[in-house]
Structures are given as C-alpha cells and as structure tokens.
Amino acid sequence: MADDFRKIAFGFISAEHERDNDPGLITEGYIDFKAAAEEATDGKKFLFLGYKGAGKSSLGERLHLTLADRHDRFAKLVSLADFPFTPFSKLIRGDVEPEAKYPTAWSWILLIYLLESMVGDEGGSHYNMPALLDAAKAFRQMGLSPSSDPASIVRTTSKNSFKLALPGELASFEWAGSDIRPASEIPDFVESLKNIVRGFRSTSKHYLIIDGLDDILTSREIQYKSLAALIFEVSRLNSDFAKHGVPSKIILLCRTDLFERIPGANKNKIRHDASVEFDWYHDPQNPENSLLLHAAQLRTLRSLGSGAKLFGTLIPDYLNGERAAKQLLDMTRHTPRDFLQLLTHIQVFCRGNIVDVDAFKAGLREYSIKYFLPEIEDELSGYADPDEIQLIIAAFGRVKKRDFSFSELIAVSKTMKKALAEERIHEICESLFECSALGAIQNKPGGNTFYSFKYRNRHSSFDEREKIMLHRGLWKALNLV
C-alpha cells in the first residue's frame, strides 16, 4: 500500500496538547536542536530562549516525559501561566526595594518544589535529615503543597493571615524562639532553607523546569521586574547548587522577545554564558538542509514507517512552477510550529496520497487565514487591546499592498472611523516587527534590495523611515493577491 500524506501526524499547535494526545510526537518525532535536551540535563546552561513556536515548551515536555522513565532522575514541570504578579510583589512584606524582595520571593517558590522533590528521593542523604524533612513538613503545614501551581502558592503566602510554621528540628535550625513566626521573617527563613538545601546529597538528580512565560507578555513594569528577578535568582541558585555539590538544577524556558525587554545589567552575560537560543532560520534558497524539513521528515517516518519520503515523493519538488520547500518556508517565520501547522492545513485539502497543486494552494490560503493571522493577533495580546489589534489589521487591509511606507499606513488609519494615534501605531508596529509579522525593505547601493525580518536577524529593529513589508503568511488572509 502506497504511503499517504494525509496519514502523517505532524502535530498540534501546543506541546501540552501533544503530550496529552500523542506523546510519541515529543519522544520520537523530536529534533533536539543544538542538543538542547542534553545541555539542559547535563550541561551548565539553564536558560532556553526562543520566539513563540520555536520549541521551548516541547523541550520542557520532552524532558519531563523522558526523565520520568529514569529511576535516578526527578523532574517537575511548573507553568507560570496566569501568574498573579500583583500579589507576588507583596509576598515579601515591609518597605523593601523590589530588587531585594523579588529574588527572595522567587527562592521561596522554587525551594518549595525542590525540597519536596528531595524528600521523595529514597537514595538521598543529609547531614541533618530531620531538618530537611521538617522543612518540607513546614510548607505542608502552611498550606503550601508542592502539588499546587505557583499562583496558588503566591496567593496563600500573600494573605494577611499567613504565618510561618516551623515544626520540630526546623525551629532550631539557625532559629531561636517560637515555632510560629510572622510572614515578615520570610527572607530569614529562605536563607535558612538555602543552607538546608546545600547539605543534600544523592546519586540521583533533581530538575525543576519552569515554563509558561509565553503567556506573560504585557507592558506592565511590575512583570518585567519580576521576571528579571526570576532569571537572575535562578542563575544564582544554580551556581550555588554547583558550588556546594547539590544534585539539582532549575531550567528556565523563556521567550526571546520577553527576555530582551526585561531590565538588568547582566543580561548579556547570562545570554552568552548560560543560554541556548532556538534559532531555526535557514536560507530558503537551500531548503533541503533546513532542520524544519528534517523535523517534518522525522514525523513522516514515525507515522508511515522507514522508507517513507516526504519531500520529492509525497510533496513534489516543484509546485506552481517553484520549489515547494522554498514556498513553504517563505510562508513561515522559520519555527517548527509554523512549518508543521502549514503541512497540517495542506492535508485537509488532499484528495489523494500525494500533494497536488490544488491542495497546495488551498492549504496555503487556509493556513494564512485560520492559523497565521490569528497567531499574529495572539502575539499582540498584552501589547495592545483587542480593539487596537483589529484596527491595525484593518489598516493593513486598507493599504491593499504587501509593502508600503509608514506614512501610507498613517494616512489610511486617519480615514477610518476610529483612528489610532500615530505614536500608538508606531508602538504596535514595533511589536509586530519583533514577532516577524512585519519586515523592512532596505535599498542598498548598487540597486540591491534586502528584506530584513527579525527571524533572520535578531539585531534588526523597526525603523519607520524604511519601507514596511507584510510577512507573506499574512497576504492571503488580508486578500493581498
């Protein structure tokens, strides 16, 4: 029986959905970009950066699934989605600067998970095991179960009625007096917990994987300061673990654009020394060597068996008179999510085993309308309100061109019943440039023209003086034929 393009499981939009519905996509149909999984478990780097859809959550889910099968590995995957930043900012009480209290607040949350993991390690040892056990017991007595999500931990701790409970050995571990203490003493308690953790030893290793930062994108300063503190505190904790021989590591999955917006003088040091960046871009003129094509082929083999060939067989080398692989890559921002979703949309229109021209055209159109445009609108969530998003998209449609000047966009916006201010349009365009929905057209000496998108060059930035180009994935959705 001939191989059938329609029977290939290319995957879902979210890694969480893949884990729940077809975990084999993550364990068997996964390209380990830059050996990120090995670096996360056994290397020194802890920060994994990538734009939305670049595969950060897939890495987290893969680590969680594969480590769970090993007797000498303990892994906890925690999501910061829906994290309550306002209560978090009040978790450490007293008149203390955010730069001082936010790192302590993050250690409070992270140590809750790590301590519980250590207590569950039957091969673990400690020079003062009663203190370690009582530390985990303390969190349970305070209503801070590690099975809770971080949001619940924050809300419980930030209540006015919250008190520190210090049972047994813990009450005397660098402490004196009552075993019930006010919440204002959390910083001292956190320092004692760090000392306890430093004494833990095991032949197993404990991992805490932090994900969900894709959902934390707003313009609120409190969020950026909080997340900056998270990154720097994770860096400090991991260094402390390594220094004292503690078999633990905290892994952080973060959006590149979010990381670039947070404050901090040592960002570049962490980025250079402690991060892996998911950058899948490959010259579309030589698409055969793109890892995105290899990812699709890997999932083809998983679905159809050895010997199945995606490009050149199930997808002809040329469609519409052009190389099919190049056309597909040009419709994406060179991320696994974009590319695999594009193939999924083409499947819907296939009437036979092999992709034909009609299915190819219809799939590209459907992808543009039902996936790419909504994905771009989601990218703006947090940076613009729903009305602003609809207005800017409508303005692009009214320009009726794939490339245009910023002044043309302003002029069209002014003709609309509800016009956005020029300054606001500029801010939204900056955000759209960051997520590669917009690019720049640069005319160089000698008559050469260059197209600059963020996914090609992360150092590029929006410049209203340059001509703007809409990403090809938007053209059909905006009816720009």
**Which pLDDT score, from 0 to 100, does residue 145 have?**
78
**Which pLDDT score, from 0 to 100, does residue 222 have?**
82
Q: Are 84 and 153 in contact (CB under 8 A)?
A: no
The proportion of the chain whose per-residue pLDDT surpasses 70, expressed as a percent, equals 95
- pLDDT band at residue 102 using 50, 70 and 90 as cut-offs: very high
Q: Are 325 and 311 in contact (CB under 8 A)?
A: yes
**Which pLDDT score, from 0 to 100, does residue 355 have?**
97
pLDDT at 443 over 90: no
- pLDDT band at residue 93 using 50, 70 and 90 as cut-offs: confident
pLDDT at 244 over 70: yes
Q: Are 329 and 284 in contact (CB under 8 A)?
A: yes
Task: Show the tokens assigned to 380.
Answer: 């703006």
pLDDT at 176 over 60: no
Task: Show the tokens assigned to 218.
Answer: 């707003």
pLDDT at 218 over 70: no
pLDDT at 190 over 80: yes
**Range of lowest pLDDT (77-86, 179-188, 284-293, 427-436):** 179-188
* Residue 18 CB contacts under 8 Å (≥ 6 apart), including other chains: 11, 12, 25, 26, 58, 61
- pLDDT band at residue 324 using 50, 70 and 90 as cut-offs: very high
Rounded Cα distance between 231 and 250, Å, is 10
pLDDT in tens, 365-424: 999 999 999 999 998 988 899 999 999 999 999 999 999 999 999 999 999 989 899 999
- pLDDT band at residue 350 using 50, 70 and 90 as cut-offs: very high
pLDDT in tens, 27-65: 999 999 989 999 999 999 999 999 999 999 999 999 999
Task: Show the tokens assigned to 170.
Answer: 């813990």
pLDDT at 342 over 90: yes
User: Mean pLDDT, to the nearest integer, of 254-267?
Assistant: 87
Rounded Cα distance between 132 and 120, Å, is 11
Task: Show the tokens assigned to 133.
Answer: 């056990």
**Which pLDDT score, from 0 to 100, does residue 230 have?**
95
Q: Of the segments 111-120, 147-156, 209-218, 263-272, which one has the largest average pLDDT value?
A: 111-120
**Which pLDDT score, from 0 to 100, does residue 166 have?**
85
Rounded Cα distance between 62 and 26, Å, is 6
pLDDT at 217 over 70: no
pLDDT at 178 over 60: no
Residue 384 sits at φ, ψ, to 5 deg, of: -145, 150
3-state secondary structure the chain: CCCCHHHCCCCCCCHHHHHHHCCHHHHCCCCCHHHHHHHHHHCCCCEEEECCCCCHHHHHHHHHHHHHCCCCEEEEEEECCCCCHHHHHCCCCCCCCHHHHHHHHHHHHHHHHHHHHHHCCCCCEECCHHHHHHHHHHHHHCCCCCCCCHHHHHHHHCCCCCEEECCHHHHCCCCCCCCEEEHHHHHHHHHHHHHHHHCEECCCEEEEEEECHHHCCCCCHHHHHHHHHHHHHHHHHHHHHHHHCCCEEEEEEEEHHHHHHCCCCCHHHHHHHHEEEECCCCCCCCHHHCHHHHHHHHHHHHHHCCCCCCECCCECCEECCEEHHHHHHHCCCCCHHHHHHHHHHHHCCCCCCCCCHHHHHHHHHHHHHHHHHHHHHHHHECCECHHHHHHHHHHHHHHCCCEECHHHHHHHHHCCCCCCCHHHHHHHHHHHHHCCCEEEEEEECCCEEEEECCCCCCCCCCCCCCEEEECHHHHCCCCCC
Q: How confident is the prediction for the chain on average, in pLDDT? A: 91
User: Mean pLDDT, to the nearest integer, of 84-113?
Assistant: 87
Q: Is the dihedral of CA 6, 436, 361, 281 positive or negative?
A: negative
C-beta neighbour count of 176 within 10 angstroms: 6
Total number of residues shown for the chain: 481
pLDDT in tens, 116-166: 999 999 999 999 999 999 999 989 988 897 677 899 999 999 888 888 888
The residue written with tokens 């490009």 in the block is 311
pLDDT at 199 over 60: yes
Domains of the chain listed by start with CATH number: 1-7+281-382 (no CATH), 31-278 (no CATH), 387-481 (1.10.10)
